Structure 1
Amino acid sequence: MERPELPLQQLHAFVMLAEELHFGRAATRLGIAQPPLSQQIRRLEGKVGHALFSREPGRIALTPAGRELLPAARHALNGLADGLAAARDVGSGRVGRLRIGFAASLALTVLPGLLRTFRERFPAVELDIQEMTTTPQLAALRERTIDIGLLREPPADDAELGFAIVLTEPFVAVLPSAHPFAAQRAVRVEQLADCPFVLLPRAVGPPLYDQITSLCIAAGFTPRVAQHAVEWQTVCALVETGLGVSLAPESIRRIRLKGVAFRRIEPNTTLTRVAVAWRKNDSNPLVPRLLAALDQDPPDRS
């Protein structure tokens, strides 16, 4: 047998009357007149097929059917209230889930402060943090598998994605600590012409790779790449073993390896940019919340 649908308005009227056991007081709580309240109760009783209240002069009471319905009616109304509150929280950006992709080197600069600030302001938001290089981040944003990207050297223009620069920093030379140039306070790029290089593959971040090679070309040579490594931590570890030297963003200094020296380069005019990226048409309210947190608490540039 098909169960009748019980409109929430009728359930609300029923619960008010069950609590007050007085039509006048229940109507006042509902903000309606008594006749509409009586009509709601009669309609509900018609759907149930039984009287929900016994009516005697000057007194009403719940019938057995009414007593059976009351807990379920309260549960339905409370569930609706909870669902509406949860929907409001998600819609306003107070709760929900935000998926963030980040380049590994940004764990040394932008990421910790950003996550700390955002967590303090929105403790109920679930953060899904995924480490990935720039090219996979751009693909993941377009495929909607992440909501925010923190990457290096964003594209100049993109119809689908928005970008904002949050940090710029110069490059440094990365040398084995026993290398002769490590004794210098600064290294001229042309001094590295005869050295093998350890670099990130171009595929993981073409603009950054091109910046590094352009530094070398401007100094009169093309870098001879002896080894590729996907992460800067690995680049530094390979430099420590003596496989080569590298040029890296200045924040890579924060990777502490005893056998690696970081030195300022000359000329020191090229800057690498760190950007936050997002989909321009994203309806997730948490995206602007995070962008606002970045804007109000810019990353440490020291």
Structure 2
Amino acid sequence: MERPELPLAQVHAFVVLAEELHFGHAAARLGIAQPPLSQQIRRLEDKVGHALFTREPGRVALTAAGRELLPAARRALADLADGLSAARAAGSGRTGRLRIGFAASTALTILPGLLRAFRRRYPGVRLDVHEMTTAPQITALRDRTIDVGLLREPPTDEPDLCFRTVLTEPFVAVLPSAHPLAARRSVRLAQLTDSPFVLLPRAAGPGLHDQIVGLCAAAGFTPRVAQRAVEWQTVCALVEAGLGVSLAPASIRRIRLKGVAFRGVEPGARTRVAVGWREDDRSPLVANLLAVVSQAPESAR
């Protein structure tokens, strides 16, 4: 048997009248005149097929059918209110799931403060964070497996992606503590000409790799790569083991290893961290994260 559809306006009118048991009071509460309220109730009764109220001079009461309908009517209105609230929260980016890719070095700078600020403002949003180097982040953004990326030295030839610089930091030389240059406060890049290098593979982050190689070229040499490692922690460990030297973002100094010295480099150069997202992404979650990034104080970056 087909169930009759009950318009929510009629259900709402029914619940209010059931609570007031007075047509005049119910109409005033609904903000309508009494005749339209009576019409709403009549239409609802026609759909139910039974009277919902007894009407006597000066007295309105629920019938057995009305008493049976009232709990379900209240649940329907409550479900609608919950649904509207959930829809508004999702539409404003206050609920949902946001997938964030991040370069490992950003965990030493912007990432913790950014996540804390976002969670304070949007506690109902689930954050899925994925550590990955720059090149995999670009692929993940294109494949829509992450929504936002925090990456170092993003490419300039990705027309469907947008990037905004959120942090710049200088490079430092990463040296074994026994290296002759470790006794200096800073080193000139040309002084590393004969040293073997430990570098990230180009495939992991072409922009950063090419920037480091370019800095060495400007100093008059091509770095002789002895070892490659994807993670900066591993790079530093290999340097500590005496397998070579490296150039790294200054935040890497927060990796504490007794056998590693971090020294400023001359001439100075800076590397940048950017937030990346898809140009066609209209998600309020992404918009809210970008707003939090923009509002973060410089000290948090």
User: Where on the TM-score scale, by shorter chain, does this alignment land: which range?
Assistant: over 0.9
Unaligned runs of 5+ in 1: none
Shift of 1:191: 2.1
Match of 1:193 in 2: 193
Identify the range of structure 1 (86-95 vs 74-83) with the bigger mean alpha-carbon deviation: 86-95
Matches within 5 A, 1:122-271: 122-268=122-268, 270-271=269-270
Amino acid at match of 2:40: Q
Which of structure 1's runs of 4+ aligned residues deviate more than 6 A?
none
Q: In the alignment, which residue of structure 2 is the partner of 1:284?
A: 283
**Is structure 2 residue 296 aligned with structure 1 residue 294?**
no
- The answer (yes or no) to whether the contact 1:109–1:299 under 8 Å persists in 2 is no
- Whole-angstrom CA distance in 1 between matches of 2:78 and 2:7: 14
Aligned amino acid, residue 10 of structure 1: Q
**Aligned partners of 1:298 and 1:225: how far apart in 2?**
38
Distance in structure 1 (CA, Å) of the matches to 2:217 and 2:239: 21
Q: Where do 1:50-61 residues align within 5 Å?
A: 50-61=50-61
Give the counterpart letter for 1:280 in structure 2.
E
Following superposition, the deviation at residue 299 of structure 1 comes to: 4.3
Say if 2:204 and 2:230, in contact at 8 Å, map to a contact too.
Answer: yes
Structure 2, unaligned stretches of length 5 or more?
none
Q: Amino acid of the residue matched to residue 85 of structure 2?
A: A
Superposed CA RMSD? 1.6
**Greater shift in the superposed pair: 105-114 or 122-131:** 122-131
Equivalent in the alignment of 1:104: 104
Following the alignment from structure 1 to structure 2, what is the Cα–Cα distance between the partners of residues 298 and 243?
A: 39
Same amino acid, percent of matched pairs: 76
C-alpha separation between the residues in 2 aligned to 1:201 and 1:179?
A: 24
- Corresponding position of 1:42: 42
The answer (yes or no) to whether the contact 2:188–2:265 under 8 Å persists in 1 is yes
Quote the Cα distance in structure 1 between the aligned partners of 2:73 and 2:24.
21
- Higher mean C-alpha deviation, range 204-213 or range 288-297: 288-297
Select between 71-80 and 128-137 the one with higher mean Cα deviation.
Answer: 128-137
What is the SS of the residue equivalent to 2:299? coil
Following TM superposition, by how much is the alpha carbon of 1:134 offset from its aligned partner in structure 2, in angstroms? 0.8
SS in 1 for 2:203: helix
| Partner SS, residue 151 of structure 1 | strand
Q: 1:274 maps to what in 2?
A: 273
- TM-score normalised over the length of structure 2: 0.95
